[in-house]
Amino acid sequence: MVCPVCNKRKVKRLCPALAQSICTICCGTEREVSIDCPSDCEYLAASRAYDAERRQIDFSVMPFADVKIDEGFLRDHDNLLTAVDYALCQFAAAHREVVDIDVVAALQALAESYRTLATGIYYEKPLDNPQQRAIIEKLKAAIEEFRKDDTARAGMTTLRDRDIRDGLIFLTQFAAVRANGRPKGRSYLDFIRGHFAKEAFQKPASDLLVLP
C-alpha cells in the first residue's frame, strides 16, 4: 500500500492522527508540521525525547535574552507560575487548535506589556492572531484572580507588577526552550499538562516548574 501523504513510498506505521498507515519518512518530516499529532502518539513521544537529548539551545536568541530569572524568584513565586500555567492548560483544553507558537507569542506580548510599566506607562502590543489575543485575556484574568486571592490571604497587596513581569518573562523563556518550533507543536503544553491531575486539571500547590 502506498503512503497517502507522499503517494510514493510504502506504508510502515499507523498514524493515529490520520487513522491510517503512512511511511516512516512522512511520519518524521510531517510530524507536527502538516500532521496534527495527538499527544499520546508513541512516535511523537520518541521523537521529542530524541530531540531533547540533542538540541543545542542558543540563549542569545531567546526571548528577553538580557534577563535571567534566578532560582530564588522561582521558589518564592512558584504559585504565581502555577496559576499562569494552569490557565494555559484550561485554555488549551477548550481550544484544541492552540499550539506552542501561540503560547510563546502570548506570554511574550504580555511580559513586554508589564515590562513597560517600569517606564511608568502600560503599553499592550496588539497581536494580529485572535487566538493569541484570547490567550492573553485568559492570562490577564488568571493573574487578576491570583492577585485578589493573594491579597485576601495576606490582608494586603504583596504581588508587585515587577513580580508578574519576571514570572511572565521566565515562562516565555521556558516555553521557548521546551517548544520545538513546529507549526503544530505542543511540546510545552504537553509538558505542563503532565504536572496537573489528568483531565480535571486540579491545581497543585507548588513544584510545577524546573529550570531549563
Residues 28, 41: contact at Cβ < 8 Å?
no
The structural domains of the chain, with segments of one domain joined by +, span: 1-55, 59-200
Q: Is 49 helix (H, G, I), strand (E, B) or coil?
A: helix
Residue 153 or residue 169, greater confidence: 169
Provide the angle, in degrees to the nearest 10, between the axes of the packed helices 100-116 and 161-178: 150
Residue 119 has pLDDT above 80, yes or no: no
Residue pair 204/195 in contact by the 8 Å Cβ criterion: yes
3-state secondary structure of 126: coil
The C-alpha cell 484572580 sits at: 145
Give the model's pLDDT for residue 24. Answer: 96
pLDDT digits (tens, 9 = 90+) for 39-92: 999 999 999 998 888 888 888 889 999 999 999 999 999 999 999 999 999 999
* H-only helix segments in the chain: 24-30, 42-54, 71-76, 78-94, 100-116, 130-154, 161-178, 187-193
CATH 1.10.472 assigned to 1-55? no
pLDDT per residue as tens digits for the range 7-24: 999 999 999 999 999 999
CA torsion angle 207 101 186 60 (round to 10): -60
The pLDDT tens digits for 167-205 are: 999 999 999 999 988 999 999 999 998 887 544 444 444
CA distance 48 to 70: 27
Report the alpha-carbon distance of residue 208 to residue 185 in Å, rounded: 21
